[in-house]
Structure 1
Amino acid sequence: MSQARTNARKAAVQALYQWQMTGQNLSAIEMQFLEEERLRDAQKSYFNELFHGIPKSLDVIDETLMQFVDRPVEAIDPVERAILRIGVYELMNRLDMPYRVVLNESINLAKCFGADGSHRYVNGILDKVAQQKRAVEIQAKNRKASDASG
């Protein structure tokens, strides 16, 4: 996975966090990120997809999360909420990306931005989402693994 895409995710976490906390206009936040050159080393098109795609799909993303979290989505720590929303978005909309990559990237984001141990929480929830949304991919991977060992 490219560093530019990883940087796009990092910027998206920060931008989504700002949006969640302030309710500010998406375009205003994006303009601020561009002006401050916070997207300099990021894949801008991917940042754009995440930052605009997640608010557009928020109802579906949060409905998915509600099946697996132990509290209302709005009660989840805002940093973790932004990371989980990115992970769910990618699991549902970026089938070109292996689910393991989505989980690993999300865990790394939680280690980078979240509280101590939040990566375990993020991993636990996104793993359950992946079992539901990427069942075919996971079964194929498991079959391949058992064929190789058999």
Structure 2
Amino acid sequence: MKVAPRRKSRELALQGVYSWQLSNNDVEQIELMLATTNDMKSVDMSFFQMLLRGAVTRSEELDAQIKPYLGRLPEELDPIEKAILRIATFELVQCMETPYKVIINEAIEVAKSYGAQDSHKFINGVLDKAVKTLRKHERK
């Protein structure tokens, strides 16, 4: 099955944010490594760069925005879950042209592929609560 360019961008951004969380390497270095070791023809490059750089440079702000909905501290999260939540929160706040349902669904699908067995349920629950504040103009 062919993966859509934005999904591939989210998956690569997840790999980059995860790598940054573990290594604390420079985000440009991580981006270059991902770009040179992956087939970037199927990636929306500008979207990938925006997600990766945004989630890394604004990680503390994103953690603060999502913290009330976690039920635990951000530092207690699995690194994959934390990376997915940072990316999805960044998208919810910065990509107003993308409907929140699409962002949540994409985060769930990425979690199903890369996260622990039931992490997609946790991601769904957290984002469903957070969207009520982060996208209150879009919610009924």
What TM-score, normalized to structure 1? 0.88
- The match for 1:54 is 55
Aligned residue type for 2:38: E
Letter in 1 for 2:5: A
- Does the 8 Å CA contact 1:11/1:39 hold for their aligned counterparts? no
The aligned counterpart of 1:75 is 76
Change (3 A) 1:21 1:38: farther
The question of whether the paired residues in 1 share the 8 Å contact of 2:20 and 2:56 is answered with no
3-state SS of 1:108 partner: helix
Alignment: residue pair count: 138
Query: Please, which runs of 5 or more residues in structure 2 have no aligned partner?
Result: none
Q: Residues 3-48 of structure 1: CA distance to partner in whole angstroms, max 9, x if unpaired?
A: 1011000000011101101111111111111111253311110010
Q: Which runs of 4+ in 1 moved over 3 A?
A: none
Q: Is the 8 A contact 1:4 1:41 kept in 2?
A: yes
Query: Gaps spanning 5+ residues in structure 1: where?
Result: 140-150
Q: Secondary structure at the match of 1:40?
A: helix
Query: Hey, what does 2:15 align to over in structure 1?
Result: 14
* Paired position in structure 1 for 2:37: 36
Given that 1:15 and 1:51 are in contact with CA atoms closer than 8 Å, whether structure 2 keeps it comes out as: yes
The Cα offsets for residues 36-91 of structure 1, whole Å up to 9 and x where unpaired, read as 12533111100100111112222221101111112211110000100011111111
- Look up the match of 1:23: 24
Alpha-carbon distance between aligned partners in 1 of 2:14 and 2:102, rounded to the nearest angstrom: 17
- 1:98 maps to 99
1-side partners of 2:76 and 2:114: how far apart?
18
Q: TM-score, normalised by structure 2?
A: 0.94
Q: Aligned partners of 1:47, 1:41: CA distance in 2, in Å?
A: 11
**What is the rounded CA distance, in whole Å, between the counterparts of 1:30 and 1:120 in structure 2?**
29
- Correspondence for 2:111: 110
User: 1:61 & 1:29 partners in 2: Cα distance?
Assistant: 20
Partner Cα separation in structure 2 for residue 64 and residue 30 of structure 1: 25
SS at match of 1:115: coil
Q: How far apart are the structure 2 equivalents of 1:12 and 1:38?
A: 14
Give the secondary structure class of the aligned counterpart of 2:71: coil
